[in-house]
Amino acid sequence: MGTFIGIVALIIAGIALVYTWKLHQELNTATRRLDRYNRALFDANDEIRHLREEMATTTAQLRVELKQSSGNISFQPDMTVREVQMLHPQAQQILAGFHLGGCSSCAIEPDDTLAKICVENKLDLNALLGNLNLLVASANGQPHQATRSSKQAPEFVKIPNVELSL
């Protein structure tokens, strides 16, 4: 009788071992599928991020072109940083003078508005707009001295010494 119980126990152990091996194989198959789905999800998210960036750039380009075609070329509080940089090539210098962008400690989002970044960084919006609009005034042939006031242009702001035409 003891031999019979031993044989039955051995058969049950063998069945358990085969069942464990089968479960392990199914787990490996499920893991491979999950990895494939995760890669596809990552790729889809990456593509969505790329399309959103492309859409934001295109929207900014269209808004800048609209401003330029209407002849109303000036910097406004509701403009995004991306639009500001597209409107005038030296606008980034003015932003950097206010410690907005240009380094990791003063990074800003390209889709934030000028009003928002001024509030977040406790800056005078009128001073920033005044300095940015100096770029437009100089591009239109107006002298810096005529549009510059001591209140609008703090000493640390970089005023370009090269005039570029739009």
- Written as tens digits, the pLDDT of the chain (166 aa) is 789 999 999 999 999 999 999 999 999 999 999 999 999 999 999 999 999 999 999 999 999 999 889 887 889 999 999 999 999 888 888 888 888 877 777 788 889 999 999 999 899 999 999 999 988 877 666 654 434 443 444 444 555 555 555 5
Residue 4 phi, psi dihedral angles, 5° rounding = -60, -45
Helix (H, G, I), strand (E, B) or coil at 113: strand
CB of 128 within 8 A of CB of 74? Answer: no
CB of 134 within 8 A of CB of 141? Answer: no
CA triple 162-79-100, angle to 5 deg: 60
Show me where the domains of the chain are located: 1-72, 74-166
Of residues 24, 53, 31, the one with CA closest to residue 111:
53
Residues 6+ apart with CB under 8 A from 123: 98, 100, 117
Q: Please tell me whether the overall predicted TM-score, pTM, comes out greater than 0.75 for this model.
A: no
Residue 22 confidence (pLDDT): 97
Q: Which two tokens stand for residue 98?
A: 């206010």
